[in-house]
Structure 1
C-alpha cells in the first residue's frame, strides 16, 4: 500500500525464492505459537503485522535490528523502496512505469526520488533523438 492505494508489482525469481523461505519460517513460527493465518509478514509471535499497533514501525524496527546485527548501513523501508526503483531503472524500465509502481502522482517526484538531475535526464534523452 502506498497512500492507502494497493500496489501490484512483479517479483523476480530471487525475490520469489526469498519469499518461499520466509513462508517456510513463518510456518514454524505459527506452529510454535499455535496461530492460524496465512499472512506473509508476521510478528515474532506469529500474528500478522497488520494486527499490531503500528505495522510500519514494526517493519522499520525489525530492519533496524537486522541492520545492526549484520552491520548494514542505511537499511530502512524507504531505502529498500528507493533501491527497488533504482534497480528497475538500471534494468531498463521506463521511468513512467517506475513512477506508477511507486504510486507517485507526478513524474518529477520520481526523478527527484531516483536522484536524477535535469542534465542527466537530458543526456539520456539525447540517445533517443
Structure 2
C-alpha cells in the first residue's frame, strides 16, 4: 500500500471523522446538535434569514422554521425585521441563547480536556504543536469540485 499524501490525507480525514462522531455522542441536552449549530452560526455571522440558515445548515426550510420556532420558544433566538427587506424577518441570537451556547462550548471543551489529560505527555505535546495547523484547517475555504 502506498503511503503517499493522498492516503495520509484520507487517514487524517478518518481520524477527524472519528473525533467528530465522538463529540456528537455528547450527553443528552435540552437542544439538538442542529440547534446548537444554528446558535453557533448566529453567534458567528449575526442575524440571518431562515432561508439562509436552511441553506447553510443543509436542511429544508420547513425543518429550519420548526427548529427556529423551538429555539424561539426556549428564548434562545428572536425574530426581528430585516432592515434590507421590510417583508422579511431575520433570526438573531438572544442573550439567553448566547449563554446557552457558551455553556455548551464550555462543557464540550471540558470533555475534550479530560481526554487530553489522559494522553501521554508526548501525544499532548504533538497535539499542542499541531494547534496552528488545526486552526488553519478550519479557516481554509472549500475547493470547488
Length-normalised TM-score, structure 1:
0.34
Q: If each structure's helix is expressed as a fraction of its own residues, which one has the higher value? A: 2
Q: If each structure's strand is expressed as a fraction of its own residues, which one has the higher value? A: 2
